[in-house]
Structure 1
Amino acid sequence: MKLRIGYELDYDFPQPTPIILMLHVHFSRVSDLTAPDHMRISPSVPVSAYRDVFGNWCSRLLAPQGHMRITADAVISDTGLPESFNRNAGQVPVEQLPEECLTFLIASRFCDSDRLLDLAWQLFGHTQPGAPRVQAICDFVNRRIAFNYNDASVTRTASDAYREGRGVCRDYAHLAIAFCRAMNIPARYCTCYLGDIGTPKPWPPGDFAASFEAYLEGGWQMFDPRNNVARIGRVLIARGRDAADVAIATTFGPNVLTSFKVWTDEVAEAA
């Protein structure tokens, strides 16, 4: 299966403003691109690029005063199959974890696992360690949080999401990650393209999606507590400790996002 993926972001800047963008397909999926995800910026400005500490590809530019459009339109190959994971994978003892996993055991800005430690053990201490425990966490989070775009908040932490019982996909991911870390399971935040292929219509407007990966026997495995079902066509963009590490745009000055479009659509195969 081939997917057309892309975005169109329109900003108004009252003054020249530095921006860091994290919008390119993750390096682990670059070989699947059949048409590149080149970023196009209007008006044209110089762009520099670098890898952050997590290996994500970042773009850096100075937006001029006035209107700016940032867009990309690419095609990527996908299996077309629902994603799967090893439901029997065991939990790796902390003393046996690879060193690169340890940072994903520690509380972070939005995944305040230290505040949820006692609650996590009360809720999940009786569950089977490993993938069954992570799935039990996803099941709980899926029931606990009510999804509503109007409830989005850029300052809500995992413990806030638990207390308020509302939020968007990033809140589901933050709460599940915090619970995993409290249970000594490394977990990292992921931002992705994710369309609605294979789900009943009507489909909502496109958006980027948050999920997370947990480190279990055999390596990292993807989980999605918001949808909590196997999905088709997830395309990874970036990974980090939480949403603060993988913001699609970090601006260093006042601005208004006037339009936001994202698409992840199946491309009809040629006859």
Structure 2
Amino acid sequence: MRIHIGCEMSFDFRQETPLIAMLNVHYSRASDLERPDFLTSDPPVPIESYRDSFGNWCNRLVAPSGRFTLGTDAVIRDPGTFEMADLMAWQHEVRDLPSETLLFLLPSRFCESDLLADEAWRLFGHMPLGIARVQAVCDFVNNHIVFSYGNARPTRTAAEAYREQSGVCRDFAHLAVTFCRALNIPTRYCTGYISDIGMPKPWSSMDFAAWMEVYLGGRWHVFDPRNNSPRIGRILIASGRDAADVPLTHTFGPSTLESFKVWTDEIVE
């Protein structure tokens, strides 16, 4: 399957403003791109690219004052099948985990696994280890939080989402990440594209999404507490400890987001 993916974001800046953008497909999917998904801007400005400490591809630039647009556009190849969970994946003892996964057991800015540890063990400590326990977390979070753009805010933490029972996909992911870390399962926060390919219509307007990956059975596995169902065409952009590590854009000054478009369209041969 071939999928047309991309985004366009337009800002209004009061003055020249440094900006970091994380909008490119993750290196683990780069070989599936038919051509590089270069970040472009209007008006054009010099763009410097680098990898952050998690291996995510980042772009830094200085946006001029006034209207400024940036985005990507690409075609990516995808298996075109629904995601399949490995039901036999086991949960590692902490002492047996690879050292590079230990960071994803620790509390972070939006995922206060220390604050919610007692609640995590109360809710899920009786569940079987491994995939079944992670799925129980996702089922709980999916039922506990009501999706609402109107109640979104960029500073909400997992503990606050748990109390308020409202939020957007990042809040679902943060809470599930937090519970899993408290249960000694390495878990990282992910952002990227999730298509509606294969889902019943009508489809809502596309947006970037958040989900998580857990380390079980010697590899990372995708779980999506917001949608809580397999998808076709999930395309990773970045992963980290939480949303603070992987913002789509980070501006070092005042700005107003004027428009925002995302597309993930199947190309019918």
Name the TM-score class by shorter chain.
over 0.9
Aligned to 2:261: 261
Measured after TM superposition, the shift of residue 99 of structure 1 is 0.6
Aligned to 1:153: 153
Query: Partners in 1 of 2:256 and 2:87 — Cα distance?
Result: 44
Query: Partners in 1 of 2:148 and 2:35 — Cα distance?
Result: 34
Q: What amino acid is aligned across from residue 170 of structure 1 in structure 2? A: R
Aligned to 2:104: 104
Moved more, 5-14 or 83-92: 83-92
Aligned to 1:50: 50
Work out the percentage of aligned pairs sharing the same amino acid.
Answer: 59
Aligned to 2:235: 235
The answer on whether the counterparts of 1:36 and 1:75 sit within 8 Å (CA) in structure 2 is no
Query: Partners in 2 of 1:15 and 1:39 — Cα distance?
Result: 21
Measured after TM superposition, the shift of residue 90 of structure 1 is 1.1
Aligned to 2:183: 183
Q: What amino acid is aligned across from residue 103 of structure 1 in structure 2? A: L
Measured after TM superposition, the shift of residue 89 of structure 1 is 1.1
Aligned to 1:201: 201
Aligned to 1:170: 170
Query: Partners in 2 of 1:161 and 1:34 — Cα distance?
Result: 39
Aligned to 1:125: 125
Measured after TM superposition, the shift of residue 36 of structure 1 is 2.5
The answer on whether the counterparts of 1:88 and 1:132 sit within 8 Å (CA) in structure 2 is no
In angstroms, what is the RMSD of aligned CA positions? Answer: 0.7
Aligned to 2:59: 59
Deviations 1:163-202 (A, max 9, x none): 1111000000000000000000000000011111111111
TM-score by length of 2: 0.99
The answer on whether the counterparts of 1:147 and 1:167 sit within 8 Å (CA) in structure 2 is yes
Query: Partners in 2 of 1:163 and 1:232 — Cα distance?
Result: 32
Measured after TM superposition, the shift of residue 20 of structure 1 is 0.5
Hey, which bits of structure 1, 4+ residues long, moved more than 3 A?
none
Give the number of equivalent residue pairs.
Answer: 269
Q: What amino acid is aligned across from residue 123 of structure 1 in structure 2? A: L
Query: Partners in 1 of 2:116 and 2:133 — Cα distance?
Result: 16
3-state secondary structure, aligned to 1:245: coil
Deviations 1:83-113 (A, max 9, x none): 1121221110100111110100000000111
Query: Partners in 1 of 2:35 and 2:209 — Cα distance?
Result: 22
3-state secondary structure, aligned to 1:35: coil
Query: Partners in 2 of 1:236 and 1:166 — Cα distance?
Result: 25
3-state secondary structure, aligned to 2:116: helix
Query: Partners in 2 of 1:54 and 1:35 — Cα distance?
Result: 23
Q: Could you list the runs of 5+ residues in structure 2 that have no partner in the other structure?
A: none
Q: Could you list the runs of 5+ residues in structure 1 that have no partner in the other structure?
A: none
The answer on whether the counterparts of 2:156 and 2:171 sit within 8 Å (CA) in structure 1 is yes
Query: Partners in 1 of 2:148 and 2:36 — Cα distance?
Result: 33
Aligned to 1:86: 86
The answer on whether the counterparts of 1:145 and 1:172 sit within 8 Å (CA) in structure 2 is yes
